[in-house]
Amino acid sequence: MFLFKKLLSGLLFPLPVSIELLAAGLFLLWFTRRQKAGKVIATTGLALLMLSSNWSFSTWVMSSLEDRYPPVMKAAAVSAQVSSPPKFVVVLASGFTFDPSLPSIAQLGATTLARLAEGIRIYRQVPGSKIIVSGGKVFSPAPVAQAMAKTAEGLGVNPQDLLLEMKSMDTAEEARLLKPIVGEEPFVLVTSAWHMPRAMALFRHAGLHPLPDPTDYLAESGKEVAPEDYFYPTVRSLRKTTNAVYEQLGMLWERLRGQL
């Protein structure tokens, strides 16, 4: 089921859909008499690709996810929401490339590193707390949580304050497998701002009590925009749109499975 979900969602991302439409349109133009249909389909594919790669559009769709939970400037703002300081800081994993020839920090993707750095920042502000790093093997021979823990140790986290969840394959499984660890206690949940709405919904549905601490912002709404950002398609903008689409597809999938 997990592999099917990954394969299906990959076909529905902006870039694959654009290429599929362009290919279908060109096929009709070159090999059939349905010229008008071919032109419409190919033009739609090109327009979708240009829109998905546009800075303004990608920022708008990403902001719709990232603006739902405010950033945490100080841990005190989180602690103020509960009667006592949270005992756990849960950091959800993302990208990971297993390569024993590299140090653990170099194996973690930029998104995972951003989440881990934020988790360590909050952990250091909450005396007596522990960090839980969560992430299984997915497509690698080793769990990403293992590399996250080694990296955290290298950055000064006390090994006794580290807990690992190494079996989950996705966010829904992370919620289910973390419940026996955190129990009914409120805890800080660290993940990307664009992933936070889905993560919060899944964790709450599982009966957990997360306190959101979003990080890894991509919308760049406060950025000084260069003129070319408005007119030229960029890979960075395409990535933002793709991440936003991925989250929307993820929420739809979880609703269909009754997990939201």
Where in the chain are the domains? 2-65+235-256, 72-215
Pairing of strands 162-165, 210-215: unpaired
- Bridge partners (DSSP) of residue 187 are 210
Containing 102, the helix (H) or strand (E) segment is: none
pLDDT for 38 beyond 90 = yes
Dihedrals φ, ψ of 187, to 5°? -145, 155
The pTM assigned to this predicted structure is 0.90
Both structure tokens of 49: 């690709």
pLDDT for 260 beyond 80 = no
What's the rounded Cα separation, in Å, for the pair 142 and 204? Answer: 28
Of 236 and 195, the one with more pLDDT: 195
- The fourth-level CATH superfamily of domain 72-215 is HUPs (3.40.50.620)
| Model pLDDT, residue 223 | 61
What is the C-alpha radius of gyration for the chain, rounded to an integer number of angstroms? 21
| Model pLDDT, residue 10 | 72
Q: Percent of the chain beyond pLDDT 90? A: 71
Of 6 and 144, the one with more pLDDT: 144
Rounded to 5°, angle at Cα 41 from 38 and 42:
80
Edge-first strand order for the sheet with 130-134 is 162-165, 130-134, 88-92, 187-192, 210-215
- Is there a contact between 208 and 183 (Cβ–Cβ < 8 Å)? no
